[in-house]
Amino acid sequence: MAFVDIENLSYTYPLGDAPALDAVDLRIEPGEFTVIMGCDGAGRSTLCRVVAGLIPRVFGGELTGRVTIGKGPDRVRPGFVFDNPFNQFSGAKFTVAEELAFGMENLGIDRQTMETRIEEVMALVEIKGIEDRDPSTLSGGQAQRVALASILVMEPELLVLDEPASQLDPVGAREILKLIKKVNLRGVTIVMAVQTMAHLTNLADTIVVLDQGKVVDTGSPRSVLTSRAMGDYGVEVPRVTTIARQARTMGLFHGDTLPISLDGVEKGFSNGSLG
Amino acid sequence: MVPSVEITSLSHQFSGQTVLNEVSLSIQPGEAVAIVGRNGAGKTTLVKHMNGLLHPHKGRILTCGLDTVGVSVAVLAQTVGFVFQNPDDQIFCRSVEQEIAWGPKHLGFPSAKIKKNVENAIAATGLNNMEKVNPLDLSLAKKKMLCLASVLAMDTGLLVLDEPTMGQDLAGKQRITSILDELKHQGKTVVAVTHDMDFCADIFERILVLEKGRLILDGTCEQLFNNPDFQTRGGILPPQVWQLGQKLGLAPTPWTAAQLLERLHTNTPAAPANRVEKRKTP
């Protein structure tokens, strides 16, 4: 049985005029790394909230269809990382360390385990040294790392992330995405909404593309990102892919398939252009 | 000519920790300047000095000739528009239209000018048909666009934008690029904090790199992308176009898609003569 099984799901927010999700079918296997893409308003955050169990419980609204999350009869506790970390912070804690402990306290985890996990995760996401800072005074990037850390300490089996690197510097973003892949390789199922795949092409197993609440494409990063239709859906594909496509029409790219990363890309361009 | 921003030996501390350390720089009217660096490097703290939200603990900053310590934020708002990184820190009105009109209204613009500026800002940012929407119901990308619209409507000579492309999809980024192109054309001064190197390469002639509160580079995209030391210290990855250009051995290395295609085309005598639009020449 799939870890996440969504069948014919439609959802409209309270006071919403149109469905945010429209007849969505989605299956995610245990341990899979799934990326959700689409333009602004396509339904990426909404789908993340459904998978994390926040819709309709927290947001209300009208949901039809079937959503099953978990292995067989055992439901799992997903972890959800917000796109705006300041919306995620509890607001009840005055230091980063207390914020990291907040979720575990509510799960009834013992103090010794909490301290060990906080120590490990702070090292993992590289936020050591800011334990005593007030979360509300952190920079956007620091806050995003703390938001991720506060979920990782709870050791979720399913990690749902809504734009987890949008406020990070480029090197920091690459490191965090590698870290999320590391977590995935430990067996955690990942569902992540992003705007751009520039650093992700070697990380994800599957890309799901949404447009106006509907799933319009699903497949491997290569099959999805090299599809000509991505432009119609407003999806930002790696620049190397768009350049190669344009170069091909100008007779300057001769590779069999369009590249989605820089690995070995020069071969396609070298025939006939610089050669 | 009075510089848009003149900073002399500016230092700032939070809870005893130095976040800006002896920063000096000058930005002339009409310049487009990007500020980059790792998270926590002091970028937002620096730009918050430009409209008087923060005051230096040491040193001095003049914005359009005004010492920010001696005047209120309201007075500075007549010359500098500021877009916050987190839109929820900026938005407070009950509708998109009211939010955009608030700035020009409180700058004392006549009602006809307020109406025109609001209409123009809505058209530029693509918020048409959302005039009556409560800003809290907007997506992050639309909220960011609303914050930009609010500042455009104030028609200030200096615009300071903190992470303008954050949360934007492809169309949103293209729209912001086009807005900034138009602002540059109008001779406005634009200062933007950003992590988006493609955006940097497309728009900004001058790049400032901060590291742990110190200004370590005041130069061009080319100087930054050609120097691995600055990239490491600033947490920067060159744009994919730049990396591709290097892999292909193109010299000088292009940093926009148009430049790269043009160089490939020039190096290929038999290639068809497709016209490549040029934005900026390194």
- Residues A191-224 pLDDT 10s: 999 988 777 788 899 999 999 999 999 999 999 9
Q: What is the mean pLDDT of residues B123-139?
A: 93
CB contact under 8 A, B39 and A141: yes
Measured in angstroms, the CA of A72 and the nearest CA of chain B are apart by: 35
Chain B residue numbers touching A272 (CB-CB < 8 A): 268, 270
A/B interface, count of CB pairs below 8 Å: 148
Q: Chain B within 8 Å of A150 (Cβ-Cβ)?
A: no
Predicted local confidence at residue B276, as pLDDT? 46
CB contact under 8 A, B268 and A87: no
Chain A residue numbers touching B40 (CB-CB < 8 A): 139, 141-142
- Asked if residue A270 has pLDDT above 70, the reply is no
Chosen for mutation from A40, A44, A168 (greatest number of chain B CBs closer than 10 Å) is A40
Chain A residue numbers touching B173 (CB-CB < 8 A): 236
Least confident stretch, A78-82, A257-261, B233-237, B264-268: B264-268
- ipTM entry: 0.81
Least confident stretch, A21-35, A190-204, B158-172: A190-204
- Residues B90-118 pLDDT 10s: 999 999 999 999 999 999 999 999 999 99
- Asked if residue A272 has pLDDT above 50, the reply is no
- Asked if residue B87 has pLDDT above 50, the reply is yes
User: Would you call A269 helix, strand, or coil by DSSP?
Assistant: helix
Chain A residue numbers touching B140 (CB-CB < 8 A): 83-84, 163
Nearest CA in chain A to B85: A140
Nearest CA in chain A to B194: A169
* Gyration radius from chain B CA atoms: 20
Measured in angstroms, the CA of B37 and the nearest CA of chain A are apart by: 7
Q: Chain B within 8 Å of A125 (Cβ-Cβ)?
A: no
Predicted local confidence at residue A273, as pLDDT? 43
Q: Which of A169, A238, A242 sits opposite B39 (nearest CB)?
A: A169
Predicted local confidence at residue A195, as pLDDT? 85
Higher pLDDT, A175 or B173: B173
As given in the structure block, the two tokens for residue A110 are 């013992």
Nearest CA in chain A to B41: A139
Q: Which of A140, A166, A252 sits opposite B271 (nearest CB)?
A: A252
pTM: 0.87
- Residues A57-88 pLDDT 10s: 899 999 999 998 876 656 677 899 998 888 89
- Residues A157-197 pLDDT 10s: 999 999 888 878 888 888 888 889 989 998 999 999 998 87
Q: Chain B within 8 Å of A205 (Cβ-Cβ)?
A: no
Q: Bridge partners of B192?
A: B34, B161
DSSP codes of every residue in chain B: ---SEEEEEEEEEETTEEEEEEEEEEE-TT-EEEEEESTTSSHHHHHHHHTTSS--SEEEEEETTEETTTS-HHHHTTTEEEE-SSGGGT--SSSHHHHHHHHHHHTT--HHHHHHHHHHHHHHHT-TT-TTS-GGGS-HHHHHHHHHHHHHTTT-SEEEEESTTTT--HHHHHHHHHHHHHHHHTT-EEEEE---HHHHHHH-SEEEEEETTEEEEEE-HHHHHT-HHHHHHHT----HHHHHHHHTT-SSPP-SHHHHHHHHHHT-TTS-----------
Please give the domain boundaries of chain A with CATH numbers for all domains.
Answer: 31-48+77-225 (3.40.50.300), 239-268 (no CATH)
- Asked if residue B274 has pLDDT above 60, the reply is no
CB contact under 8 A, B44 and A139: yes
CB contact under 8 A, B270 and A172: no
Task: Please say whether the beta carbons of A71 and A3 come within 8 A.
Answer: yes
- Asked if residue A50 has pLDDT above 80, the reply is yes
